[in-house]
Chain A
């Protein structure tokens, strides 16, 4: 990957079933995610996905691109900008913004984000990874 290279695109349909699965897996049972009645009375008017569930798409994209280097050296800085509701399709994408040489590796700084089908940004941020030079 070089400066300007695109990261693998990850697209998913968010469903209430998947949100409930994530609640079980993460232990986060905040009613805004899993209780439709409670959530209907909030500013969102219904349940929303966990931010970290959506953020996982960014990590999946980085893992596809950089495999073990991502697992060992990855850094993420993300802002959650908008809620994702069941039934919405979201896409994680990004590109390498800069590449710099370190001693025995290259550090790649990537602009990353997740958007809805209409282009609304739900997650924005930066991912950094050090790739071992062979």
Chain B
């Protein structure tokens, strides 16, 4: 049963997941978005670096999979801040929390805070996603 948007109040944690961003996942992501920009490599250990938008996609995966969103939900806005690079093979803890919500024109606008931390607890990426959900 789809989530009732009115239950998405500030502070509610909607997803907390750990992902491994392995080389295969990075390659599949790059192929899916047909990214032709040069692969970035870590200067110290020459490890392949994940495109930051691949990390962002993982952060959103938790929201998409853990929140049974009502049909007609649309992604209307996205903010991201890349804090640290992520190497292939890094494990990431991704958390999504409701920041705020409002009703306009019979639709819910829910803003989620997203964070991704590496295995050492360092923030690598933060952001907000705004989803528009039907219903009042």
**Taking beta carbons and an 8 Å cutoff, which residues of A are in contact with B?**
10, 12, 18, 21-22, 24-32, 38, 42-43, 50-53, 55-57, 59-60, 63-64, 67-68, 70-80
Contacts and interface: CB of A to CB of B under 8 A. Distances in A.
Nearest to B38: A67
17 contacts: A12-B34, A21-B32, A26-B58, A30-B73, A51-B75, A51-B76, A52-B57, A52-B60, A52-B75, A59-B51, A59-B52, A68-B40, A72-B82, A72-B84, A74-B80, A78-B77, A80-B78
Given A18-B32, A24-B28, A60-B37, 11 more contacts: A21-B31, A28-B57, A43-B72, A50-B75, A55-B53, A64-B37, A67-B40, A70-B82, A73-B82, A74-B52, A75-B82
B64 A80 contact: no
A60 B40 CA distance: 12
Contacts of B4: none
Interface residues of B, number: 39
Interface of B: 25, 28-29, 31-38, 40, 49, 51-54, 56-58, 60-61, 64-65, 69, 71-82, 84-85
B81 A75 contact: yes
A51 B51 contact: no
B interface: dominant SS: mixed
Contacts of A56: 33, 35, 51, 53
A interface: dominant SS: helix
A131 B77 CA distance: 26
B80 A75 contact: yes
A74 to B, nearest CB: 4
A20 to B, nearest CB: 9
A70 B28 CA distance: 21
Nearest to A73: B82
A25 B25 contact: yes
B27 to A, nearest CB: 9
B53 A25 contact: no
